[in-house]
Structure 1
Amino acid sequence: MTSPWTRCAKTAATVSAGAAALLLATAPDAAAAGYGPVTVEGSKPLAGCTYKVTSGDLVGGGSSAYNEMPVTFFDNGTLIGTAKIGTTVLVGNPAKVSWTPATPGAHTLTATAGFDTPQTLALDPVTVQVGPSAATGSFGCPIPSISG
C-alpha cells in the first residue's frame, strides 16, 4: 500500500514536470514556434551530391510581411548559404539554397530568417542521415528536379 506522502510526492513531481514542459513549449525561444521547417529534397542524400534545401513557406498564405526576407542556412552550424523568400512570386516561394554534404553521417540543417531587426526567426531544424558517396562520383547522384 502506498502511503499518502508517497502519492503526494509523485503527484507533485508529475505536476512539476508538466509545468516545466508547458513553460518550455511557450518560451519565446522555443524551437521555431511555427515558422516552418527546413526541408531537404530527396529521402536518402549521399555525400558529394547536391540537394536543394528550402525554408518552408514563411509567406503565410499571401502576406507580404516576409517577402524578400533573407534566410540563412546552416549544416551542423556551418554556413551553407543565404537566399530570400518570395523573390519571384509571393505565395509558396520559400528561400532555397544548394547543399552538398561533404561527409556521411548525421547532418542537422537549421535556418534563421530576419531583416535587420533584433528579432530573428528560427525555423524548425531537420536532421538527415547522409550516406557514403557514390562510387561513380556525380554519376551516382540523383538527377535534380527541373521544376525549381
Structure 2
Amino acid sequence: MTGTARTAAALFAAAAATVLVAPSAHASVQSLAVEGSTHVVGGTYTLTAQVGGASGGLLVYFSDNGEFIGAPTVPWPPGSATIDWQPSTPGRHILTAEQGGSTQSIVVEVEEAASPGSGSGSGGSGTGSALLRGLLSGSSSGS
C-alpha cells in the first residue's frame, strides 16, 4: 500500500468511527394541546403539537385512541404541527402526537352533542296518527 492509500484509508476509518459514535439527533414532541375546553361529538377542534430537536422537520402523526387522524403533517411553521380533529363518539379520548419515536398524549372527555330542538315529538293533537290509521285500514275519513 502506498503512503497516499494508507492516509486515505486512515482518514476513511476515522470518519466512519466519528459517524458511528456521534450522538443521534432525536425528534422531540414537547407538548400537545387541543383547542377549547368543552368537546362534543361532531365538533371540530385543532390539535397542536410543539416539536423540537434536530429532526424537527420529520412528519408528525396524530391519533385518537390509537386510530390515526388524517394524514401525517409537516411541522409548519417549523416547530409546530396542527391538524383538525372531529370526535365521532362520546367518552374518554386519548389524543397522541408522535414524531420519530417521541410521543405526547392528552386525555379529553367528549360529550354527546345537544339534541336539536326541544319539541315533544308527539304529533300535536294526534290527527296525523288518526289519518295514518285510517289510510292503513282503508278508510279515507281518518277516523
Give the structure-1-normalised TM-score.
Answer: 0.53
Q: How many Å separate the matches in 2 of 1:35 and 1:113?
A: 6
Q: Between Structure 1 and Structure 2, which shows a larger proportion of strand residues?
A: 2
Taking the TM superposition and a 5 Å limit, the aligned residue runs for 1:10-89 are 35-55=29-49, 57-59=50-52, 65-67=55-57, 69-81=58-70, 82-85=72-75, 87=76, 89=77
Q: How many Å separate the matches in 2 of 1:135 and 1:45?
A: 15
Q: How many Å separate the matches in 1 of 2:65 and 2:82?
A: 18
SS state of the match for residue 58, structure 1?
A: strand
Query: Aligned-pair distance for 1:98?
Result: 0.8
Q: Which amino acid aligns with 2:43?
A: C
**Gaps (5+ residues) in structure 1?**
1-33, 115-119, 138-148
SS state of the match for residue 37, structure 1?
A: strand
- Could you say which structure has the greater relative contact order, defined with CA pairs below 8 angstroms and 6 or more residues apart? 1
Q: How many Å separate the matches in 2 of 1:128 and 1:72?
A: 18
Matched residue, 2:98? 112
Q: How many Å separate the matches in 2 of 1:77 and 1:105?
A: 15
Q: How many Å separate the matches in 2 of 1:38 and 1:135?
A: 31
Any conservation in 2 of the 1:37–1:126 contact (CA below 8 Å)? no
Any conservation in 1 of the 2:30–2:52 contact (CA below 8 Å)? no
Identity in percent: 34
Hey, which bits of structure 1, 4+ residues long, moved more than 3 A?
none
Q: Which amino acid aligns with 2:61?
A: T
Query: Aligned-pair distance for 1:58?
Result: 1.3
Query: Aligned-pair distance for 1:127?
Result: 0.3
Matched residue, 2:131? none
| RMSD over equivalenced CA pairs, Å | 2.1
Query: Aligned-pair distance for 1:84?
Result: 1.2
Cα deviation 1:85-122 (Å, max 9, x = unaligned): 1x3x33xx5111111000111000012112xxxxx212
Q: How many Å separate the matches in 2 of 1:136 and 1:37?
A: 36
Any conservation in 2 of the 1:111–1:125 contact (CA below 8 Å)? yes
Cα deviation 1:27-80 (Å, max 9, x = unaligned): xxxxxxx7322211000111111110111x2136xxx6413x211011001111
